[in-house]
Amino acid sequence: MRIPCKHPLNVRRTVIGGEQPLVCVPLVAAHREALLDEAREILSYMPDLLEWRADYLLGLAPGDMLLLLAELRVMIGETPLIFTYRSPAEGGRAPSDLARRLEIVFAALSSPHADVVDFELGSGEEAVSAVRREASKHSKRLLLSWHNFSSTPGESFIINKFVEAKELGADIAKVAVMPANSRDVLTLLSATLAARLKADIPLISMSMGSTGIVSRVFGGNFGSDVTFAQGLSASAPGQIPVQGLRSIWRLLP
């Protein structure tokens, strides 16, 4: 039986960390018109959340980003939007220069149209603290994430990453790892379940790649509050189409 979050988040009309896990679909287009077309198509899938992977958009400047956020909000209405500008070190396409990334992240935090902003724990405690302060200034929800695209650390390490995110001020904590085998997937799921009992904020976890697909389908039973599903294109290895995920969930008791 799923254990809901002790302190779920209400974002617009959506509860993150409630009785049911949610489906988030990423927007990964490289150009403005394609992004709006992608959002229009994905809305027909009725996602619980959308994530704009802004690092996929070519030549993104802060001013352009703010205009696009406003356009997206008109289109998506009250669907909650996660803004992500992922660093290359954690599988993204944003500039490796931290100052340039922070410029975009700070601009997103100032916009009323991004509900949650994702930032990497690996950026360093000083940068995380600066982002946390800016998020508080604008009453913005902060998602602190940690990714490992090469392996799956031990269970205690993963639990500590969730706890670290909470202690550094995360409203939502996310851990994504790459499994070498099925045992690694079990490690991720077990760590998520243990973290649910230690950190009272919403959690997101996933074991990536084809081996980890089971974590995207059943992670909610182990304490993951959101799973990322593929819309028109995947933003990470192992994402399955949102229609397929929903079909599987409908078969479950």
Active site residues: 147, 174
CA dihedral 103, 136, 70, 45 (to 10 degrees): 110
Which residues, in sequence order, are bridge partners of residue 117?
A: 83, 142
Measured distance CA(250)–CA(1) in Å, rounded: 16
Q: What is the DSSP string of 165-220?
A: HHHTT-SEEEEEE--SSHHHHHHHHHHHHHHHHH--S-EEEEE-TTTTHHHHHHGG
CA distances from 194 to 18, 162, 191 (A): 17, 10, 5
- Do residues 196 and 5 touch, judged by C-beta distance below 8 A? yes
Radius of gyration of the chain (CA): 17
